[in-house]
Amino acid sequence: MSGYVVGADVGSSALKAALVHPDRGVVAVAEHTYPMHRPHRDWAENDPEDWYLALAAAVSEVLQASGVSASEVKALCLVGQRDIAVLVDDDGEVLTPCIHWTDRRDPAETTRLYDRLGRADLIDRSGTLPIPGLVLPNLAWTKAHLPDVWARVRVALQPKDYLALRLTGDIGTDPTGPTRSILNDWRSEDWNAQTCEEAGIPREILPDVKYQPWDVRGELGSTAYELGLLPGTLLVAGGGDDPAAALGSGVINPGDVSIGTGSSMSWRIVADEPKFDPTGVIGLMPHLIPGRYLHEMVATGTGTTLRWFRTVFGDGCTYEQLIAEAAQVEPGCDGLMCFPYVEGASVPWQDDSARAVYYGIAGHHRRAHFTRATLEGIAFQYPALLEVVASRRHSARCFTISDGEARSHLWNQIKADVMGQQITPSLRVEAPAIGAAILAGLATDLFDSAATALAVVLELAPPVRPRAVESERYAALQHHWEAIRRRIFPNLASLPVGARS
Taking 70 as the threshold, does the pLDDT of residue 178 lie above it? Answer: yes
What Å distances lie between residue 341 and 37, 306, 387, CA to CA? 20, 11, 20
- Rounded to an integer, the average pLDDT of 371-393 is 94
Nearest to 414 by CA among 445, 460, 383: 383
DSSP 339-378: E--BTBB-SSS-BTT---EEE---TT--HHHHHHHHHHHH
Task: State percent of the chain over pLDDT 70.
Answer: 98
pLDDT band, residue 351 (cuts 50/70/90)? confident
Taking 50 as the threshold, does the pLDDT of residue 181 lie above it? Answer: yes
CB count within 10 Å of CB 14 equals 17
Taking 70 as the threshold, does the pLDDT of residue 499 lie above it? Answer: no
Nearest to 11 by CA among 403, 445, 456, 348: 403
Q: What is the pTM of this model?
A: 0.91
Using a 10 angstrom Cβ sphere, with 0-12 exposed, 13-18 middle and 19 or more buried, the burial of residue 269 is: buried
Q: Alpha-carbon distance 368 to 422, whole Å?
A: 26
- Rounded to an integer, the average pLDDT of 436-448 is 98
SS3 398: strand
- Rounded to an integer, the average pLDDT of 47-75 is 98
Whether residue 446 contacts residue 1, with contact meaning beta carbons closer than 8 Å, is answered with yes
pLDDT band, residue 501 (cuts 50/70/90)? very low
Ranges assigned E (strand) in 231-372: 234-236, 256-261, 265-271, 283-286, 293-299, 337-339, 357-359
Taking 90 as the threshold, does the pLDDT of residue 346 lie above it? Answer: no
pLDDT band, residue 497 (cuts 50/70/90)? low
In angstroms, how far is the first alpha carbon of the chain from the final one?
56
- Rounded to an integer, the average pLDDT of 133-155 is 98
Taking 80 as the threshold, does the pLDDT of residue 149 lie above it? Answer: yes
* 456-481 tens-digit pLDDT: 999 999 999 999 999 999 999 999 99
Q: Is the dihedral of CA 405, 21, 79, 35 positive or negative?
A: positive
Average per-residue pLDDT for the chain: 94
How confident is the model at residue 231, as a pLDDT?
A: 98
Nearest to 179 by CA among 271, 46, 81: 81
249 Cβ neighbours under 8 A, 6+ residues apart: 258, 400, 402, 426, 431, 435, 458
How confident is the model at residue 300, as a pLDDT?
A: 84
Q: Alpha-carbon distance 54 to 59, whole Å?
A: 8
How confident is the model at residue 262, as a pLDDT?
A: 78
What Å distances lie between residue 29 and 5, 214, 402, 432, CA to CA? 12, 21, 15, 12
DSSP run (H or E) holding 435: helix 431-443
SS3 246: helix
Q: How many CA atoms lie less than 13 Å away from 20 in the CB half-sphere?
A: 36
CB count within 10 Å of CB 91 equals 7
Number of H-type helices and E-type strands within the chain: 16, 20
Opening angle at CA 260, ends 370 and 387, nearest 5: 85
Whether residue 118 contacts residue 182, with contact meaning beta carbons closer than 8 Å, is answered with no
How confident is the model at residue 1, as a pLDDT?
A: 60
Q: Alpha-carbon distance 182 to 405, whole Å?
A: 28
pLDDT band, residue 495 (cuts 50/70/90)? very low
Q: Alpha-carbon distance 122 to 109, whole Å?
A: 16
How confident is the model at residue 154, as a pLDDT?
A: 98
- Rounded to an integer, the average pLDDT of 252-269 is 91
What is the DSSP pairing of strand 398-402 with strand 357-359? Answer: unpaired
Whether residue 315 contacts residue 97, with contact meaning beta carbons closer than 8 Å, is answered with no
Opening angle at CA 91, ends 14 and 9, nearest 5: 20
- Burial code of 388-419, b = ≥16 C-beta within 10 A, e = fewer? bbebbebebebbbbbbbbbbbeebbbbbbbbb
* 312-326 tens-digit pLDDT: 999 999 999 999 999
CB count within 10 Å of CB 490 equals 10
Where do the domains of the chain lie, and which CATH numbers do they carry? 4-243 (3.30.420.40), 303-393+475-488 (3.30.420.40)
Nearest to 498 by CA among 350, 302, 396: 350
> What Rg, from alpha-carbon coordinates, does the chain have?
22
CB count within 10 Å of CB 486 equals 14
- Rounded to an integer, the average pLDDT of 393-421 is 92
- Rounded to an integer, the average pLDDT of 291-296 is 95
